[in-house]
Amino acid sequence: MAAVRQPRRFLNVPYGAWHARELPAPDPLLTRTDPGTPCGEYLRRFWQPVAFVRELGDVPRRIRIMGEDLVVFRDRSGRVGLLQLHCTHRGTSLEFGIPQERGIRCCYHGWVFDVDGRILETPGEPSDSTLRQRLCQGAYPTHEFCGLVFAYMGPPEHRPVFPMYDTFDVPGLRLHPAARFELPCNWLQVKDNAMDPVHTSFLHALSSGYHFTEAFGALAELEWQETPYGMIYIATRRVGDFVWVRVCDFMAPNVHQFTREIEQAIAERIGARPVVIRWAVPVDDTRTVNFELAQIDPAWGLTAEQIARPGFGQSPDRAYEERQRHPGDYDAQSSQRTIAVHDLEHLAATDRGVIMLRKIVRDGVRAVESGETPRGVVMKPGDTVTTYCQDTVLRVPPTSSSEDDRAQLRQTGRRVVAGEYRAP
C-alpha cells in the first residue's frame, strides 16, 4: 500500500483561510496529455474511443483528442478514417472535406487522402507530379467495435491488440453503444471517481437524495485489490437479511466498469453483470469525454435513444439550482477545480482506492518512459481479459455484534471475488 501523501499544509486553526490561500500547480506528470507529455504518451499506448459510429454521417466530424485536432469520417465504401485535421497541402480543415468512394477530398484544391493518409489524387498538379508518392496526410489506425470507433494514437511499433473484456459477452444480455458526455475538467479526477465507492452512499443517496435504489444508502465495507489489468473495489453492504456485494473494475489506464445502478438487494442473485463500461478520454487537459458501452437486458424494453442517454447527474442537462439541490457526478467531479490539485487534498481512509489508481497510472507513465510495456496493454491476439464486475446478493442473516457483522461482510466480499459462489 502506498503511503498517504502529506498535504502541503495541514490547516488546523479555526478561521484559518488566510493561512491557506496558496494554490499550488496540479501534478503535471498525471494530468498533462498533449503529444510528447509522459502521461499523454502513456494513454496513447492503448486503444481509445474517439467517436460513436452513430455520429458519423455523410459529412466529416471534427474532434479533439488529447490535444490533437483530428477529423473522423466514413468514406462512401464504408471505411472509417481518422486523419490530422489540417490538410497537408496548405492546412485547410478536413472537416470541410468531401467523403469519396475511397477516402476524403479536401475542399480547397481537391487533394484526396485515403483512410491511411496516402494521397490518392492531387488533381490540380502537373500530370508528372510525384508528390503523391512522396507525401502522406497524418492518419491513425481505427477499429470499430459495438458502435464505437477506437483509435490507436501511439507509436506504430507498439500497437497492441484490441482488448476483449469478458464483459463484452454476457449470457442473457446484449452489449449496446450507450452514452457520451463531456466534463469541463481533467481526465484524472473523472477516473479517480471510479475507485471511490464511498461516494455512492453519499453523493448518490445520503447527501444528495436517492439517485438510484435505497440500497445505495447503506454504508459499505470497502476493499480494493490489484488485478493484472488494474484494480477492483469490493463494496459490501448489509441490506436487511441480505448482503449485497458490488464489485467494479478499473482497467488501466482510463476505463472502468460498474454495474447499472438497479440493485435493490431484496433477492438472492449471483454474479449479475448488467455492466456499463466507460472510457474517460481527454479532449485536452481541461475537458474529458466519456464514452460508454452497456449490457442491456432485452426484457427492459429500452430504445437505442434511451440507452444513449447519460445516467442521472452525469451531464449538465439540469438547471443550475436543481444541480445545487441534488448534485450528481458531473457536479462533484468538475467542481474539484478544472484540474484537481493533489497538493491541496487531505486523503483519508476511504481514499485508498484513489491512491492505488493514481499509483497504477504513475507506474504506467514511468514504464512507458523507461521503454517498458505498461500494465493493461494486451499484446496476444485472442486473449480475453477476465474482470470481476458484478452484483451478488446473498441471504446472510446479521450476526449479533456489529463488529462481527462488518468482518463477515468483508469476508463475504472477498469470497465473491474469489469465485466461491456459483449461480445454481
Note the residues at the interface with ligand FES (CB under 6 A).
87, 89-92, 106, 108-109, 111
> In this complex, which beta carbon is closest to ligand FES, that of residue 108 or of residue 168?
108
Q: How far is the CB of 199 from Fe ion (least distance, A)?
A: 6
Pick the piece of the chain touching Fe ion (CB under 5 A) from 45-53, 76-84, 279-287, 323-331.
323-331
CB of 106 to ligand FES, least distance (A): 3
Q: 88 or 336, CB closer to Fe ion?
A: 336
* Shorter beta-carbon distance to ligand FES: residue 88 or 288: 88
Q: Can you tell me the distance from the alpha carbon of 246 to that of 63, in angstroms, rounded to the nearest whole number?
A: 35
Which one, 29 or 135, has the nearer CB to ligand FES? 135
Nearer to Fe ion, 186 or 412 (CB): 186
**396 CB contacts (<8 Å, ≥6 apart)?**
241, 242, 243, 408, 412
DSSP string, 209-262: --SS-GGGGSPPEEEEEEETTEEEEEEEEEETTEEEEEEEEEETTTEEEEE-TT
Smallest distance, ligand FES to C-beta of residue 290, A:
33
Task: Select from ligand FES, Fe ion, none the partner in contact with residue 92, using the beta carbon and a kind-dependent cut-off of 5 to 8 Å.
Answer: ligand FES
- We find the least distance from the C-beta atom of residue 140 to ligand FES, in angstroms, to be 19
Which of 114, 196, 261, 329 contacts Fe ion by CB under 5 A? 329
Give me the residues paired with residue 395 across strands. 242
One DSSP character per residue, 6-50 reads PPS----STT-GGGG---PPP-HHHH--STTSHHHHHHTTS-EEE
Selection from 327, 315, 294 nearest residue 147 by Cα: 294
What are the φ/ψ torsions at residue 407 (nearest 5 degrees)? -65, -40
230 alpha carbon, distance to own chain's centre: 13
Residue 111 or 216: which CB sits closer to ligand FES?
111
- Which of the listed partners (Fe ion, ligand FES, none) does 145 bind, with a CB threshold of 5 to 8 Å by partner kind? none
Which partner in Fe ion, ligand FES, none is near 187 (CB below 5 to 8 A by kind)?
none
> Which lies closer to Fe ion via its Cβ, residue 27 or residue 329?
329
Closest distance to ligand FES from the beta carbon of 141 (Å): 22
Q: Which does 329 bind (CB under 5 to 8 A by kind): ligand FES, Fe ion, none?
A: Fe ion
Burial pattern 205-223, b for ≥16 Cβ within 10 A else e, equals: beebeebbbebbbbebbbb
Give the count of residues interacting with Fe ion (CB under 5 A).
Answer: 1
β 148-151/48-52 pair status: antiparallel
User: For binding to Fe ion (CB under 5 A), which residues are involved?
Assistant: 329
